[in-house]
Amino acid sequence: EEVVSKNFIEQEIDKDLAEGVYNHVQTRFPPEPNGYLHIGHAKSILLNYGLAKKYGGQFNLRFDDTNPTKEKTEFVESIMEDVKWLGADFEDRLFFASNYFEQMYECAVFLIKKGKAFVCDLTADEIREYRGDFKTPGKESPYRNRSIEENLKLFEEMKEGKYQDGEKVLRAKIDMASPNINMRDPVIYRVARMSHHNTGDKWCIYPMYDFAHPIEDAVEHITHSICTLEFEDHRPLYDWVVRECEFENPPRQIEFAKLYLTNVVTGKRYIKKLVEDRIVDGWDDPRLVSIAALRRRGYTPEAIRMFVDLVGVSKANSSVDYAMLEYCIREDLKLKKPRMMAILDPVKLVIDNYPEDTIEYLDAPNNLENPELGERKLPFGKELYIEREDFMEEPVKKYFRLFPGNEVRLMNAYFVTCTGCEKDENGNVTVVHCTYDPETKSGSGFTARKVKGTIHWVAAKTAVTVECRLYENIVDEEKGKLNEDGSLNLNPNSLTIIKNCYVEPALAEAKPYDSYQFVRNGFFCADCKDSTPEHLVFNRIVSLKSSFKI
């Protein structure tokens, strides 16, 4: 029998199903449309979607849009796009919490009628003062014992717009002596004379999150309401709301640890500042870890899924090394993408004994480890570009690339022997010279001599000039993420733009989001914002070297 280890949430679900608490599984992802989604949200999306799939249940996308102050329609669109892109297909199960305002209002009235909620005239500051803290028990509000009739009338008046913001609130009547501060008569409705992006001016009272969320879950017949650890202390209130509102088959809340990544910035406050200060190019800058940024950088949903699976689900907060995410994208792309020739730091190589004006088309396999990707024709000629670091006039020890007198293999082409170089007045190498041996053509079966070095190249005549953007982590945690004044300690080298890179002509076709392996230089993706057929721009997704071991 196959042994499959289950995470703690799956174990809880198994138990619920076995005990008949539920007979199906219904999950949801409930974002507030107040910003972009990031890698942490991806974990929650894939977790909830994965559980629904695994148990033959359903997955809802629900916008938790009950707070009129912060939400914007523009984020609704981007969140839907991101969730779909990640592969969490919500089909027609798209919901908006603001569509339940009527039900929430009815729940509030129901609680008042049960004597479980009251209208309170204390100010926000007074409420805080009365609430007490961990050490001191709370004090009951002087309005706590209003009659049901009076509470119904006052709540109705709140709804009718008779009171200003903050003048009155509705509070659950629970227990001011509870050791859990969330249970000390929490506010469940407030007056806010504000337009809502969905309901316009229909409402001037809005439910608080801790009251709204359990009702949203219950209305959608969610079984397992999965959220992050900071809501653990709110669970008693969640349970109180669904119990006192007398929902049948109420949902239950299960918490897991948030995903944190090292060397990245996820806080909205910081990202906003980076955007405003023009340090990054919007919230989809490839150095960020919003879903849109990862997509723009060249990450795939498969890689993100692999990453989330590797990280697993736990009850303890911890940070995951960014290198693990890089490992996942390398694994995903290495067999899927063609290996192309691109020179990022070019110097010219002239083959003095090769015929002038000849273009020869050589066969090049697209991916040595995956023959299914086929072959392509690679133009070759007398003048090539090679990487500047592949020539040394005076070689260091163990240097096997080009230096005067040394023979190397030009990948997919011929052996060449370096004969010397030309330099400008500052001593910079401008041209490297060599001769080739026609007998050594790749694929000809030549075995008479061996060489130690192989270098890549691009034929000058057919080369396409492109821009490449190389990235490093935007902050370096080892050097301290924050400065003393609380600002981010930014890595000044997080972006390097190289304007004149040369690539083989097959890359001229690259469309936004197309990605490739550039031999020896890493995986690259055509930028979706700035790359055009006339001016191609490639983002380096990740280099080939790995610091992460599994």
Least distance (Å) between residue 209 CB and Mg ion: 8
> For residues 192 and 94, what is the distance between their CA atoms, to the nearest angstrom?
26
Least distance (Å) between residue 31 CB and Mg ion: 6
List the Cα angle 485/486/490 in 5-degree steps. Answer: 100
> For residues 189 and 210, what is the distance between their CA atoms, to the nearest angstrom?
10
Interface residue list for ligand ATP (CB under 6 A): 30-32, 35, 40-41, 43-44, 227-228, 258-259, 266, 268
Nearest in space to 171 (alpha carbons), one of 186, 160, 154: 186
Least distance (Å) between residue 154 CB and Mg ion: 30
Least distance (Å) between residue 35 CB and Mg ion: 5
187 neighbors 240 (Cβ within 8 angstroms): no
Least distance (Å) between residue 108 CB and ligand ATP: 22
Question: 29: which residues sit within 8 A by CB, 6+ positions away?
Answer: 41, 44, 45, 48, 49, 59, 60, 61, 62, 83, 88
Least distance (Å) between residue 382 CB and ligand ATP: 55
Least distance (Å) between residue 296 CB and Mg ion: 20
Residue 97 or 468 having the CB closest to Mg ion: 97
Least distance (Å) between residue 211 CB and Mg ion: 15
Least distance (Å) between residue 28 CB and ligand ATP: 9
Residue 283 or 415 having the CB closest to ligand ATP: 283
44 binds, among ligand ATP, Mg ion, none (CB under 5 to 8 A by kind): ligand ATP
Residue number with the shortest CB distance to ligand ATP?
40
Token pair 């507030």 is found at 32
63 neighbors 78 (Cβ within 8 angstroms): no
Residue 30 or 250 having the CB closest to ligand ATP: 30
Side-chain-facing half-sphere of 473: CA atoms under 13 Å: 20
Per the structure block, which two tokens stand in for 549? 């071991």
Residue 111 or 241 having the CB closest to ligand ATP: 241
Residue 62 or 146 having the CB closest to Mg ion: 62
Helix, strand and coil percent figures for the chain, each rounded to 5: 30, 25, 45
How many residues in the shown chain lie near Mg ion by CB under 5 A?
Answer: 2
Give the gyration radius of the chain's Cα atoms.
Answer: 31
What are the beta bridge partners of residue 423? 429
Least distance (Å) between residue 216 CB and Mg ion: 14
Residue 36 or 523 having the CB closest to Mg ion: 36
Residue 31 or 251 having the CB closest to ligand ATP: 31
What are the beta bridge partners of residue 512? none
Residue 267 or 371 having the CB closest to Mg ion: 267
Strand-by-strand arrangement of the 415-423 sheet: 454-455, 407-410, 415-423, 429-437, 346-351, 383-387, 458-459
What are the beta bridge partners of residue 522? 518
Residue 31 or 214 having the CB closest to ligand ATP: 31
Q: Report how far Cα 513 is from the mean position of its chain's Cα atoms.
A: 16
Handedness of CA 384, 388, 393, 396 (dihedral sign): negative
Strand pairing category for 383-387 and 346-351: antiparallel
138 neighbors 176 (Cβ within 8 angstroms): yes
Residue 30 or 186 having the CB closest to ligand ATP: 30
Strand-by-strand arrangement of the 26-29 sheet: 26-29, 58-63, 94-96
Least distance (Å) between residue 268 CB and Mg ion: 7
Residue 35 or 522 having the CB closest to Mg ion: 35
CA separation, residue 147 to residues 119, 150, 162, 313, 395 (Å): 10, 5, 20, 47, 92
Question: 207: which residues sit within 8 A by CB, 6+ positions away?
Answer: 66, 101, 104, 108, 188, 189, 215
Alpha helices in 377-435 (DSSP H): none
Considering only residues 19 to 58 of the shown chain, the ones binding Mg ion according to CB under 5 A are 32, 35
Least distance (Å) between residue 148 CB and ligand ATP: 34
Residue 142 or 267 having the CB closest to ligand ATP: 267
Nearest in space to 359 (alpha carbons), one of 378, 340, 376, 372: 378
Site residues (CB under 5 A) for Mg ion? 32, 35
